[in-house]
Structure 1
Amino acid sequence: MATMRDVANEAGVSVATVSRVLNKNGYVSQESELKVIKAIEKLNYKPNAVARALFHKTSKMIGLIVPDITNPFFPELARAVEDVSMIYGYKVLLGNSDGNAEKEQTYLDLFNQKYVDGVIMTGHSSEKHISLHANTPVVVLDRASYSELPTVTSDNYEGARQATKLLIEKGAKNIAHIRGPREITSANDRYRGFIDEIEENNMSYIIEESAFNLAAAEEVAHAFFDKFTQIDGIFCSNDTIAVGFLKVALKRGIQIPEELQIVGFDGVAFGKMVYPELTTIAQPIYDLGAVASRLLIKLIENEEPEQTIYELKTRVIQRGTTR
C-alpha cells in the first residue's frame, strides 16, 4: 500500500509538499501540485481518514457533546442524532462533558483534530467558551441560545405552565417546584413558567433545587419531606428528579396520588417503568435530535435552511402520579 512518502518520491517533491496539496493549505506551485496529483493516481494512493478529510474538506463526521450520558434524556436524543446523520452518510462522535466547561472544550479540541464537519452542543457552558475552527458549523440543542448560533429546543416555559396548571386543575393547594440547576437555561425557563402560572392563580409556593440526577434528587427529597409536610403537589424540573421524589415519598408511606401529586418534565421512557407511572410534560425528544441533525447537515453542505431557530411544543402525558 502506497504511503505519502512514496507519493513524494514519485513526484520528486517533499512529504510536506504532498501534505500541503492534500490540505490545500500553503503555497504549492501549479507544476508541483500537478506532479503530486499524477503520483497519487499512478500509485493509487489512498489517504487515511484524516488525510481524506483534508483533501475533500469533509470527514463525514459530526461531533455531539452531551452533559450527562447517564441522564435518560440524552441517550434518546443521541439516538435521533445518529439515525438522521447515518441517513445522510455521516457518523457521530460522542463526547460526555459531565457539565464541565473544561471537559467540553477538551472534546471540542479533539473534534478539531478529527476534522469533524460540524458539532451539536447540548452542554451547559456559555457559548463564549465555544472554540472551534471558524468555518465549523455549530447547532445548540436543548439549550436556549443567547447568540446567533442555530438552536433547537422545546418550549420549556410553556411546558412548565402546563405542568403547574395541571396540578392546580387536579386540586393541589400547596404546590412546590423542584427546579434544576441555575446554570442550565432550560431549567431557568421551566422555573419562570412555574412562577408565572402559580402567581397568576394567586397561590403560595415552595422552591427547592436539585441536580438532574437520581442520587441528588433523593437527597433533596428526604430533606424536603422533613421540612414540608403540607405539600400536596410537586412539579419537578425533569423526570429524574420526579422519580427521586416519588421513591422517597413512597418509602415514607405517602399515598400517590391521593395525598401527593407529582409531575415531571421530559417524557423519557423510564417514566413508564415506575409505579405509579409518572405524569410528565413530554418533550418531542426524537424530533429534537432529528431536527438538530438535519439542520447541521444543511449548514455543513451549504444549503440554506428554512430557519435556524426551532422551538418545539411539549405535551401533557397524564399517568398515575396525578389524580
Structure 2
Amino acid sequence: MANIRDIARESGLSIGTISRYINSTGYVSEESAKKIQMVINEMNYTPNQHARALFNSKSKIIGLVFPSLINPYFSELATIFEHLLQEKGYVIILCNTEDSREKELQALELLKGFRVEGIILGRSQCKNELNKINIPMISYESTVENNNIITVSADNYKGGAQAFEHLYKKGCRKLLHIKGPTSFEATQLRYEGFIDSANKKGIKPEIINFDTDFDLQNKNYIDGVLDNYDMKKYDGIFVFNDIVAAQMLRYLNEKQIKVPKDIKLLGFDNSYICDLLSPRLSTIEQPIISIAERCIELLFEIIDGKEVYEKEHLITTRIIQRETT
C-alpha cells in the first residue's frame, strides 16, 4: 500500500509539500499540485484518515452510540443520521450497546481513540461518566445533568397523553398499558403522560411492566408475562413501542382476540413495521427526520464553538391512525 513517502519519491517533491497538499494546510503551486495528484492516481493512494485527524484535528467522523439495532426505530434513525452526515462530508462509526453500561463505556473509549469530532448518544446508561468526556455530544432520549450536554427527544409525556386521548375517543374505557423498563427515561415519560391523562377522566388503567426492550430471544418471556392476564377484559391497549406492540398483536391473534373489533391496539414510534403488519398498526409518531436534523444541527453548533443556550429540545409527537384502532 502506497504511503506519503512513496508519493514524494515518485513526484520528486518533499514530504512537506505532499503533506500540505493532502491536508490542505498550506501553499502548493499549481504545477506541484497537478504532479502530486497524478502520482496519487497512478499509485491508487488513499490518505490515512486517522493520521490526518491527528495532524489537523478534523477527523470528519461522528460517533453514533445506540442502544439497539434490532429495534426498527433505532435502525431507521441510524440510517437517516448516516445519510444526513454524508451530505456534510462526514462518516459515522456506529456502536450498538444493547442497553449495556459496560458496552456503552467501551464504545465511548473507542470513539475517543478515533478522535471523532462529535457523538450522538442514544438512551445512555452511564450518565455520570459523560461529564468526563471532552467531546461535543448530543444526548438522545436521556437527560444528562451536565450543562455542556444537550438533550434532544420526542415529547414523550405529551405522546403518552395523546395515546390515552386517542383510545378514549375510540370508546375505550378498560385500558391496559404495556410499560417499558423504568430505566428508559422515554418510556417512563410515556407511561406518566398516559396515566395522568387517564386519571383526569377517572380511569385507572392496568399496568404490565416489561423489564426489557425487544430481543430476538424474548418471545417466551413476553408470552409468559401476558399469560398471567385475561386479555379479553380490556378494550384498549397502549404499548410503549412499536416492536413490542407487534408482538402484542401476534399474541392477541394467537388467542383469537380480534384487533380492532375486540381490542384496540396502539404503539409508539411510527417505525416502518407499522405498515407491514396486518392489521396495520396505529401509533404515536416520533418525527424521525426532524429529530435527526435537530441533533445534527445542534451538534455542529457545538463543534463550531457556538453557545447553545437551550439545553432540552422536545420534538412534537402526533397520532398516526391506521387499522388497529
Shorter chain as denominator, the TM-score bin is: 0.7 to 0.9
1:302 match:
305
Corresponding residue pairs, total = 290
Instruction: Give 1:26-105 correspondences, 5 Å limit.
Output: 40-41=16-17, 48-105=48-105
1:160 match:
160
Pick closer, same or farther for the CA change 1:126–1:2 going to 2, 3 Å: closer
Q: How far apart in 1 are the matches of 2:67 and 2:193?
A: 23
Pick closer, same or farther for the CA change 1:321–1:160 going to 2, 3 Å: same
Pick closer, same or farther for the CA change 1:168–1:218 going to 2, 3 Å: farther
Q: How far apart in 1 are the matches of 2:131 and 2:295?
A: 20
Instruction: Give 1:159-308 correspondences, 5 Å limit.
Output: 159-210=159-210, 211-213=212-214, 216=218, 219-221=221-223, 223-228=225-230, 229-305=232-308, 307-308=310-311
Question: Does structure 2 conserve the Cα–Cα contact (< 8 Å) formed by 1:217 and 1:241?
Answer: no
Q: How far apart in 2 are the matches of 1:220 and 1:133?
A: 37
Give % identity: 30
How far is the alpha carbon of 1:39 from its aligned partner? 5.5
How far is the alpha carbon of 1:242 from its aligned partner? 0.8
TM-score when normalising by structure 1: 0.83
Question: Does structure 2 conserve the Cα–Cα contact (< 8 Å) formed by 1:279 and 1:318?
Answer: yes
2:29 match:
none
Q: How far apart in 2 are the matches of 1:43 and 1:316?
A: 55
TM-score when normalising by structure 2: 0.82
1:100 maps to amino acid: S
Greater Cα shift, 106-115 or 144-153 = 144-153
2:137 match:
138
Q: How far apart in 2 are the matches of 1:168 and 1:64?
A: 38
1:192 maps to amino acid: E
2:245 maps to amino acid: A
Pick closer, same or farther for the CA change 1:42–1:156 going to 2, 3 Å: closer
How far is the alpha carbon of 1:49 from its aligned partner? 1.8
1:21 match:
none
Structure 2 regions of 5+ residues with no counterpart?
A: 9-13, 23-46
